Structure 1
Amino acid sequence: MGKEPVILADADAFTDNMDLTNYLLSSCPEADEKACRGGAKSAYSLASSAYNDFCQLVTAHWDDVSQLAINHPYWVNKGDCDDDKAKRRSAFSIIFSVDDTVIGGFLNAHQWISIKNRLEATLNLLEIAGCFILRKGAIESYYKSSDPLTSEGKPSAAVDEITYLDSISSSSLLSSFPEIIRCINFASRAEKINEADSLKDILLAIAAPAIAKFNVGAKTQELVTLNKAILRERAELFSLSADDEKLTISLNSNILSVSGFPLVLHKGDDVVSEISKALQSS
């Protein structure tokens, strides 16, 4: 049997029709089991009921949500997309983009909050089947450094966003991109990689020659140059600095979670031993 598919999809993959949902949930025993525990006949029956009621709610009460929905990229950039489809896309994305307190101010608020909860239950079943739907719309709706209304399909905006993401903490990444992080975790289900072991050889490659240079009086700029010459494109992983007493190597990464940094070395230290001691708790 082949490896399970992993899908990260824009919201319209769910709101436009039930094709993807039907394909994934019709043969997922784990999703069926969870749905049955909640009182549904099957995962697909739960999803179908929620989807149909959502479509009916949008048709009947579009005015409740339209003031916000018409400002969503799905509506602003709808082009030739028919209104009914654009309404479903933008209404769905809006109720997942705002707090329930905002939805509580809608006319028919109880119906919108109820359908949001039912849709979330459906999306959770899809995640069991390996499909992660972007609740807020397309990936551009998650951008923090670019305008989501004008960034669609622009490589430059994506590059700017990547640069921004490299500057924020892991906790901020998790809160800003929850579906994407869950998708990555699902796709990477395997024996956990020991990040310290993976980093150790790279660290040794620069630490050993750096301490040798430091032992004979090398200063910070010489060590920075050495780092670039040895590690090349990986040189940005580490920052090296030196004073009369110690050589300090810092790890520059918001992705790797490795304790033992900054690593402080003194003249005459056994580099292999010091690195092993520093990384052993990771």
Structure 2
Amino acid sequence: MPFPIKIPFDKVPDLFNGNPVDLTIHSGLTIFVGPNGSGKTQFLKFLRANSHVIPSICAARYISAGRLGFYEQYRSNAHGGRSYTNPEDAYMGDSGTKQYRLSSESAIGDFFTLSDRVDILIKVAERLRKIFHRDIILEWDSGRLKVNFKRTNEVGSVYTSAKEASGLLHLVSILTAIYNDEISILFIDEPEISLHPQLQAFLRMEMERVAGDPKIPGKKAIIISTHSPEFITIRRPEDICNFVFFSTIDTSPKQLAFDAKELKYNKIRSLLMRMGHIHKAAFFAQRPLMVEGPSDEIICSFLEGKCDLYLNAAGSQILPVIGKDQMPIVTKLFQAIGKTPVILTDLDSIADGTSLINALSINDKAEQKAQDFGHKSVHEMTKLVYGDFTKIVDNHWTELEIHLTSETITDSTQKKRVLLKYLLNSGIKQLNSLPFKSDLITARKRFDGLLGILEEAGCFLLRKGTIEDYYFAQPNVTTSDKITSAASETESMDQLPMEQINSQYADVIKALKYASLSPDINEAEAVSEILLSFAAPAISKLTSPSATLEITNMAMRLLGDKASLFKFEVEQLEGNNTLLVDKNSTILNVQGFPVKFTQQSNPNEVVKNNIKPL
């Protein structure tokens, strides 16, 4: 089984919209990463069912994420209506099912293996003894396999595995499968379950020890699906080819080839070799929001919570990229592995040049807008707009300088930063008072158009300059106290009305909303739909002498259990029978109750004008 092994599939049933998938096994350990619901588990099971197409594979084993589900009856009151089964009665399986230990998808198969294979038991038991101070004891009782433990570092009795930490049971199961040399290829869904981060790293190292060509004694191919950064290790740039990146269930996963052009760039290779934990965590986000540093991250994290944007739930994550020159490099890397990075960066990212824009993969909507402006592409538009802006600086700086700054500036880069910041933050009236006003106003309008198009492509510029230029209290910020100043700013903002924050931080909030993808959480919409579904029939009952009872019964009949959301009362108000509908819940973020309906009411208008998000 010489690597790489290419395994093409014309299609995978019920996955990836019927598109072909080309999986390449570059080494003994292949890792699937991606959000929930992106098809990782289903594809893993599909591979297990089709493992015969992989060369040198004799026996395959799949371990599910619910590998201890069968055991919960001994560990918790799973049903709720009765006491849970006595933990002392817990057993892992019986002799009748032992023959299926390699095809079992639960931990049962691994504990059967431990009872059969003394050599594997020794390997697992030694690690339990040295790392956890535990002895594992297997015994057959009336045809049932019981697993017990004993602490080795203190005096104590033997106790049932139903009272042992679930993480340790998960670890025993997976270690057993890793060491089992009967298995040629091992599929594990979410090996990190219940494990402390350090133990996840230990488990990854044990996988790496045995991962390899199954033809070699003691080696096996391992394919895992994970949500944990602890299973992301890159010791050389080509290691990223061992990762398969999933995005949605309708999109084929993405995998870099060894000869990918991105891996030929020295800067990307250098980045891969020094990736920190925060970069690894961003591997699990489909739309990482890249910001320039810790202070930007602090402000963005605060605004995310303040605006109820739920970036993480939407598949995004705030990723601070230290060093302005790193932004284009990180962008190229994430695009290469199928991510859609969103960028929030200082204004000098475009004042200094176009390298960041050139690194962007531009979507069709942004390209169309550039064409509407009369340009072939966004990149061409950027080049022309920036080029003409540079000419203004080169040709007219001497006349403009006195109006823009009190300092004498000789550095060309600094000149462009000062002028662009002034352009984007001044009104047309101010620009009209400057020399070469026609050129400046034209440049301003062209930059407004360009920045709007870049936002369609997921690139947002801080038009005021840097994140510190948005602070309500403008501190004299130095590099050493940027984080402290950012923290102080969030404390101050927490006391301000949302309207004021929205106005001051409009550029930042716009980027956060773009990254979040999801619309606002609006529980009022669902409540309104339910209320409208019976409001009209209820109004027709207002003339009945027993209107309250009839309307309540009708709501139960029409709405079923959903009727419990409301309380109904018919009262005489201003000489008219009026239906009062109140909310019967304390947890829904909805305002506007009680709602009043009369015989003349238009239910749609009443609900629309009253029921609002809280």
TM-score (norm 1): 0.63
Asked if 1 retains the 8 angstrom alpha-carbon contact of 2:347 and 2:464, the reply is yes
Matched, 1:67 2:67: no
Matched, 1:6 2:317: no
Match of 1:151 among 440, 452, 477: 477
Matched, 1:192 2:520: yes
* Residue 11 of structure 1: how far off its partner (Å): 0.8
Specify which structure has the higher proportion of strand: 2
Matched, 1:29 2:364: yes
Structure 1 residues 167-214: Cα deviation after superposition (integer angstroms, max 9, x where no partner): 2222222221221011011011125323779xxxxxxxxxxxxxxxxx
* Residue 45 of structure 1: how far off its partner (Å): 1.3
Asked if 2 retains the 8 angstrom alpha-carbon contact of 1:10 and 1:138, the reply is yes
Structure 1 residues 75-127: Cα deviation after superposition (integer angstroms, max 9, x where no partner): 79x9xxx7100000111111112222111100111110110111111111111
* Residue 69 of structure 1: how far off its partner (Å): 3.4
Aligned mates of 1:98, 1:27 — CA distance in 2: 29
Q: In structure 2, do the counterparts of structure 1 residues 166 and 195 end up closer, same or farther at CA, with 3 Å as the change threshold?
A: farther
Aligned residue-pair number: 199
Aligned mates of 1:85, 1:60 — CA distance in 2: 14
Query: Partner amino acid for 1:279?
Result: V
Q: In structure 2, do the counterparts of structure 1 residues 51 and 3 end up closer, same or farther at CA, with 3 Å as the change threshold?
A: same
Query: Partner amino acid for 1:15?
Result: A
Match of 1:19 among 355, 370, 382: 355
Query: Partner amino acid for 1:111?
Result: D
Aligned mates of 1:143, 1:31 — CA distance in 2: 30
Listed as ranges, the matches of 1:46-65 within 5 Å are 46-65=381-400
Query: Partner amino acid for 2:443?
Result: I
* Residue 38 of structure 1: how far off its partner (Å): 2.0
Aligned mates of 2:413, 2:345 — CA distance in 1: 17
Asked if 1 retains the 8 angstrom alpha-carbon contact of 2:472 and 2:489, the reply is yes
- 3-state SS of the aligned residue for 1:275? coil
Asked if 1 retains the 8 angstrom alpha-carbon contact of 2:524 and 2:589, the reply is no
Asked if 2 retains the 8 angstrom alpha-carbon contact of 1:11 and 1:135, the reply is yes
Segments of structure 2 that go 5 or more residues without pairing to the other structure are 1-253, 255-337, 526-582, 592-610
Q: In structure 2, do the counterparts of structure 1 residues 67 and 273 end up closer, same or farther at CA, with 3 Å as the change threshold?
A: same
Asked if 2 retains the 8 angstrom alpha-carbon contact of 1:11 and 1:134, the reply is yes
Corresponding residue of 1:273? 584
Q: In structure 2, do the counterparts of structure 1 residues 64 and 177 end up closer, same or farther at CA, with 3 Å as the change threshold?
A: farther
RCO comparison, higher one (Cα < 8 Å, 6+): 1
* Residue 46 of structure 1: how far off its partner (Å): 1.3
Question: Is the deviation greater in 169-178 or in 102-111?
Answer: 169-178
Corresponding residue of 2:377? 42
Question: Is the deviation greater in 169-178 or in 136-145?
Answer: 169-178
Corresponding residue of 1:253? none
* Residue 43 of structure 1: how far off its partner (Å): 1.4
Rg larger in structure: 2
Match of 2:489 among 149, 161, 165: 161
Aligned mates of 2:523, 2:461 — CA distance in 1: 29
Show structure 1 runs of 4+ deviating over 3 A.
Answer: 194-197
Aligned mates of 1:176, 1:84 — CA distance in 2: 30
Asked if 1 retains the 8 angstrom alpha-carbon contact of 2:523 and 2:589, the reply is no
